[in-house]
Amino acid sequence: AGATYTRQIPNIKKKYDYGALIFILTFNLVVVSGLRADQVLELARDRLATIVMGFAICIFISLLVFPIWAGDELHHSLISRFEDLARSLEGFSKEYFENDNHKEKKSNANFSGKCKSILHSKAKDESLVNFARWEPWHGKFGFSYPWGKYLKIGEDLRDLAIIILSLKGCHDQSSEILEESVKEACEGIVASLAWTIKELGESIKEMSKCRYEEMIVPKMKSVRIEVSAIVNPFALGTYLENSDGLGIASFVHSLMKMVEKLEELAKEVEELGQLGGFHENS
């Protein structure tokens, strides 16, 4: 009854549900065998020995023969999402700001698919983090490695993916005339944002500190200035005279939200570097 009750507690169910289930099954097996009182102790001993042998074989295979670390999988998965977001922004820029032919546009149109795949990464992240916390020291990951930070970074990446998807909808609402008026500025801003995402991903990949004050902060300040130049009072008046101007206004607002989210993401990566003992850039 106690084991059954503990399975309803969220934290226990999340981390120890399988162990509680095995305990209940073993207990029931021993109780049923009570019909043969002389075999109870023997059955309990055999059952315990089977569990211990299974555990020992699992640990031996997992640690020495064919180690598959949840921490490594989580680390590489997070890095790949940085790369996918950067490519998505670059694909967006090529599709909407460059004079590509139809074939090239079609090849770049998969940027939205990459963003959508990132949106479904939460459950996998939580599962891998729970496993990684139980893993021994291996490779570059110590016992106190801040795996929890990966959850926060993953959440920021999903927010960025949502914003990138919204850029497409905002852009589709704007006219060609308005598009040309801000095309060059927006193309430069998107390129800067893609560069920043790549830089942060590379920092985690190489486990080196992200040079937040030296490179990220100046880059974000420059982008903010460029975005502000697009939304100056004269430009806003011109845009809002046309109903299509709402598309431009929404587009610029999404760019500003992306800048803010990238600043939050950069701080999280910087904290990860401090807590995880990332080395200084040479």
Tens of pLDDT, residue by residue over 154-171, are: 999 999 999 988 887 666
Those residues of the chain that have pLDDT short of 50 are 100-108, 177-178, 233-234, 243
Determine how many CB atoms are found less than 10 A away from the CB of residue 99. Answer: 6
**Per-domain residue ranges of the chain:** 1-65, 70-276
Cβ pair 20, 5 in contact under 8 A: no
Residue type (1 letter), 237: G
Query: CB-based contacts of 171: which residues, under 8 Å, 6+ apart?
Result: 96, 179, 247, 251
How long, in residues, is the chain? 282
- What CATH class is the domain 70-276? mainly alpha
Q: What is the pTM of this model?
A: 0.74
- The pLDDT of residue 174: 54
Give 35-75 pLDDT, tens digit per residue.
666 677 777 788 789 889 998 998 888 777 888 888 899 99
Cα of first residue to Cα of last residue in the chain, in angstroms, is 59
Token pair recorded at residue 162: 């949502």
* Token code pair at residue 21: 């289930």
Rg (CA), the chain: 26
